[in-house]
Structure 1
Amino acid sequence: MKYDLIDRNLFIANRKKFMAQMKSKSIAVFNSNDIYPIGSDSTMPFQQARDIFYLSGVDQEESILLLFPDAVEEKHREILFVRETNDHIAVWEGEKLTKEKAFEVSGIKTVYWLTEFEKVFFDIMTEADTVYFNTNEHYRQAVETETREDRFIQWCKKKYPAHKWEKSNPILQRLRGTKEQQEIDILQQACHITEKGFKRVLQFVKPGVWEYEIEAEYMHEFLRNRSRGFSYTPIIASGNNANVLHYIENKNQCKDGDMLLMDVGAEYANYSSDMTRTIPVNGRFTDRQKQVYNAVLRVKNEATKMLVPGTFWKEYHVEVGKLMTSELLGLGLLDKADVQNEDPDWPAYKKFFMHGTSHHIGLDTHDYGPLKEPMTANMVFTVEPGIYIPGENMGIRLEDDVVIRENGEPFNLMRDIPIEVEEIEDWMNK
């Protein structure tokens, strides 16, 4: 891995929190992701399943974490299974975890080779009543491939039909939604790398450059700062491309007079950053571009102030909608009749701002976290309002990553990334 080794005390603490919420005489099992094939002998680059990483720090394929706090033998209360390595694997694939290294990374003392899993699992299942399965229940999940977790669940139910089943996900939604300080520090590092990429791009963009060239500038800066690359597929959208919310082709030439919307973020140590900035291709905002831009910025700033303990996600979005409605009236994009006659289920502002304002961020760009309970300290959210005006060849979105704090204002992890009109113009015209 490119990133510095994470202090294993983070993962020890995460396991302790998870096990405290398990039922008596229960086992929880977490599997690594598969390495997914493309065709022939080609595969996608490996990315670890976030839950096993959150609980162990293990960033390697073919690994299994087993938690059994009521195990008779103390050594079986936390077990890690990893793929056995040898000299041949070291030559062809590179370094893999030894048992000693697995302990150094995770803090788990009992490490077996993966080939021993079924034997050890049978032994401890004789002591257990319940198995926690790790299913993906994120509100935006759209999984169409069978995962390693899916295969394990099928195998386990067939092999042990007399046991009871529980879900890990409700526990993980709460735990992962609230970050430890060490996680916030890693997120801050991801945001710092994103900042470096953006400042590089500010001095690169000019009329005539291509969207994919801008993408390459970000990637260059991310990689040279020990990131694996983008947290998600980047959006580099000039002109009317910005009005396609998930435009990812990044294939057009940037033209004089256009605005350029860039929704990008660097990952670091599997943690995501998520930034959006919109800049004038030629380095100078027109009066109208500035007018719309500052309206979006005001909404973002006011929405950020609402991210405090006790806020409900659904009600927050309603209040942000009111802010946006006021700004759209001021811009002449809505009139009073539009608002008076609006459909409560699709308010008038949705014509120009059709997506949500905030989502949890962490190990996933759209991270786990409870959405029907009050926000609490150390949750981390994006704030990303936008105004999209196809008739004016312009879409503007601004986005920062923000930590909720117990006392005081929310803490902006992207506070050093230029966002004011004057800052953007200064950087672009140095």
Structure 2
Amino acid sequence: MGIDLREYRQRRETFMAKIGQGTAIFRSAPTSVMHNDVEYLFRQDSDFFYLTGFNEPEAVAVLIPHHQEHRFVLFVQPKDPEKETWTGYRCGVDQAKELYGADEAYPITELDEKLPQYLEKSDRIYYHLGRDKSFNEVILSHWQRLMATYPKRGIGPVAIEDPAPILHPMRQVKSPTELAMLRQAMEISAIAHNRAREFVKVGHYEYQIQAEIEHTFRLHGGIGPAYPSIVASGSNACILHYINNHRQIQENDLLLIDAGCSYGYYNGDITRTFPVNGKFTGEQKVIYELVLEAQLKAIESVKPGQPYNEFHDMAVCVLVQGLMDLGLLKGDLEEIIKEEKYKPFYMHRTGHWLGLDVHDVGVYKQGEETWLPLQPGHVLTVEPGIYIKPDIKPAEGQPEIPERWRGIGIRIEDDILVTETGHEVLTSGVPKLLDEVSF
């Protein structure tokens, strides 16, 4: 399973049709050092990968739709048998054309020499001024030199523009092949979650559950975790991005697992919360049922044409009403929501885009007031939760929280595809109904 050259070529063609006389430059991800001379596992920049499929560092892709011969150019590391002995085989210049469909390829060392010929007849440069400050300076220096000669030539790039507003809406709508990759990532994620639930027992440490999950990811062909796995028992579940995973699980604990597999750089993202001994306490059960109701109703509202914020607003309404019914919030429903007095219990939004990045690219709003309408091919998460920290401080004018509620953290998350007629829950293979997670 994978994405073939034809799809990468079509992506480039679609993008280039939108930039006209511009030239776009994309830089590969940098290598990151773990300590001393030991590097982290390389992970390619998602925009670069989306357009090229090329998975090596120290590379630059240039797209020049107005060039007669070289519309797609790659600058890559040349073959070097001595270095490849240490760090692995390289594609090299010749194979960059053969394997990745480049019209021309050069060694990365020739970038400064060759790049001006692809910029001089452009009306603008499309480049994201990101965290790679040294490469930012390379692009800016080329642009400044061309601008200095613009009055004599009457042609050249007069602006640098971020390609994200053009490229990221393309990435938001997933192709059939991308959906197949996402489904595989989510299937492996589901297998891992189900394995964790079978494996866990009172007395285990959180890291043992993490090990079982991530072992399952690799066992089934995944690259590994899509993000640091969250295995949070007891009150640790009230920490949204808890990743220490070192506590020993106790009797009557809930266990919140937020973990997803990366498969071919496409990602799953699932959260489940369940009682380790199979039995909810009374307070745990009430909060669980409330979060589940909020999630199910939020998912129901996911359909094409609906504004993105609709499912979040639905989840918040259900959660606030439920907390009011329990006496944990008081006042007028609409006023509590408007003044965000529920935030001590629920401090994040109900979802995000999902794809090559876990928090995938693409806008959520069109201007200050208008939310982006959902459309077929969008993939997003729906993940409401309630977090009652042991030291929770209620909003002004709200009741103090009795001790019996404190330390309960519950989140339930699924990955949802927007379809032509509604939606599809892509992660339904992991149980979440009350009688499925308890006995």
- Say whether 1:397 aligns with 2:411: yes
Moved more, 375-384 or 390-399: 390-399
Tell me which residue corresponds to 1:414.
427
Report the Cα distance in structure 2 between the residues aligned to 1:345 and 1:117, rounded to whole angstroms: 54
| Deviation, structure 1 residue 370 | 2.2
- Say whether 1:113 aligns with 2:111: no
* C-alpha RMSD over aligned residues: 2.1
- Say whether 1:217 aligns with 2:212: yes
Report the Cα distance in structure 2 between the residues aligned to 1:179 and 1:108, rounded to whole angstroms: 24
| Deviation, structure 1 residue 18 | 1.1
- Say whether 1:43 aligns with 2:39: yes
* Residues 330-380 of structure 1, C-alpha deviations (whole Å, 9 max, x = no match): 444334x2637537241x332321210011011111111121121211011
Tell me which residue corresponds to 1:81.
75
CA separation of 1:194 and 1:152: change in aligned 2, threshold 3 A: farther
| Deviation, structure 1 residue 321 | 1.6
Tell me which residue corresponds to 1:387.
386
| Deviation, structure 1 residue 274 | 0.9
* Residues 235-284 of structure 1, C-alpha deviations (whole Å, 9 max, x = no match): 11111111111211111111110101111111111112111110112122
Report the Cα distance in structure 2 between the residues aligned to 1:265 and 1:127, rounded to whole angstroms: 45
Report the Cα distance in structure 2 between the residues aligned to 1:105 and 1:383, rounded to whole angstroms: 38
| Deviation, structure 1 residue 187 | 0.8
Report the Cα distance in structure 1 between the residues aligned to 2:170 and 2:138, rounded to whole angstroms: 23
SS, match of residue 172 in structure 1: helix
| Deviation, structure 1 residue 105 | 4.9
TM superposition score normalised by structure 2: 0.87
| Deviation, structure 1 residue 114 | 1.9
Number of corresponding residues: 409
SS, match of residue 350 in structure 1: coil
CA separation of 1:223 and 1:152: change in aligned 2, threshold 3 A: farther
Q: Give the alignment partner of residue 360 of structure 2, picking from 352, 361, 367.
A: 367
- Say whether 1:28 aligns with 2:21: no
Moved more, 229-238 or 98-107: 98-107
Tell me which residue corresponds to 2:344.
351
TM superposition score normalised by structure 1: 0.89
| Deviation, structure 1 residue 158 | 3.8
CA separation of 1:305 and 1:105: change in aligned 2, threshold 3 A: farther
Amino acid at match of 1:404: V
- Say whether 1:187 aligns with 2:182: yes
Q: Give the alignment partner of residue 143 of structure 2, picking from 150, 157, 172.
A: 157
State whether residues 27 and 48 of structure 2, in contact with CA within 8 Å, keep that contact through their aligned partners in structure 1.
yes
SS, match of residue 342 in structure 1: helix
Q: Give the alignment partner of residue 169 of structure 2, picking from 170, 174, 177.
A: 174
Report the Cα distance in structure 2 between the residues aligned to 1:247 and 1:241, rounded to whole angstroms: 7
SS, match of residue 355 in structure 1: coil
Q: Give the alignment partner of residue 124 of structure 1, picking from 92, 114, 118.
A: 118
- Say whether 1:235 aligns with 2:209: no
State whether residues 27 and 61 of structure 2, in contact with CA within 8 Å, keep that contact through their aligned partners in structure 1.
yes
SS, match of residue 388 in structure 1: strand
* Residues 401-430 of structure 1, C-alpha deviations (whole Å, 9 max, x = no match): 1111122x311110112222222347xxxx
Report the Cα distance in structure 2 between the residues aligned to 1:94 and 1:287, rounded to whole angstroms: 56
Question: 5+ unaligned residues in a row in structure 1: which ranges?
Answer: 137-144
SS, match of residue 402 in structure 1: strand
SS, match of residue 214 in structure 1: helix
Tell me which residue corresponds to 2:437.
424
Report the Cα distance in structure 1 between the residues aligned to 2:290 and 2:436, rounded to whole angstroms: 16
SS, match of residue 320 in structure 1: helix
| Deviation, structure 1 residue 385 | 0.3
SS, match of residue 122 in structure 1: helix
State whether residues 242 and 395 of structure 1, in contact with CA within 8 Å, keep that contact through their aligned partners in structure 2.
yes
| Deviation, structure 1 residue 172 | 1.9
Amino acid at match of 1:44: Y
Tell me which residue corresponds to 1:268.
263
Amino acid at match of 2:298: A
* Residues 154-206 of structure 1, C-alpha deviations (whole Å, 9 max, x = no match): 34334433522222011122111111111111111111111111111111111
State whether residues 294 and 316 of structure 2, in contact with CA within 8 Å, keep that contact through their aligned partners in structure 1.
no
| Deviation, structure 1 residue 115 | 2.7
| Deviation, structure 1 residue 59 | 1.0
Amino acid at match of 2:342: Y
State whether residues 312 and 371 of structure 1, in contact with CA within 8 Å, keep that contact through their aligned partners in structure 2.
no
Tell me which residue corresponds to 1:139.
none
Moved more, 104-113 or 271-280: 104-113
Tell me which residue corresponds to 2:401.
none
Amino acid at match of 1:421: L
Tell me which residue corresponds to 1:140.
none
Tell me which residue corresponds to 2:396.
none
State whether residues 53 and 100 of structure 2, in contact with CA within 8 Å, keep that contact through their aligned partners in structure 1.
yes
SS, match of residue 243 in structure 2: coil
Report the Cα distance in structure 2 between the residues aligned to 1:266 and 1:55, rounded to whole angstroms: 22
* Residues 92-138 of structure 1, C-alpha deviations (whole Å, 9 max, x = no match): 211221446434653334333223323331222232221111245xx
Report the Cα distance in structure 2 between the residues aligned to 1:204 and 1:19, rounded to whole angstroms: 50
State whether residues 379 and 415 of structure 2, in contact with CA within 8 Å, keep that contact through their aligned partners in structure 1.
yes
State whether residues 346 and 385 of structure 2, in contact with CA within 8 Å, keep that contact through their aligned partners in structure 1.
yes
Tell me which residue corresponds to 1:142.
none
SS, match of residue 25 in structure 2: strand
Report the Cα distance in structure 2 between the residues aligned to 1:354 and 1:189, rounded to whole angstroms: 31
- Say whether 1:278 aligns with 2:273: yes
Point out the structure with max Rg over C-alpha. 2
SS, match of residue 84 in structure 2: helix
CA separation of 1:126 and 1:343: change in aligned 2, threshold 3 A: closer
| Deviation, structure 1 residue 54 | 0.6
Amino acid at match of 2:437: I
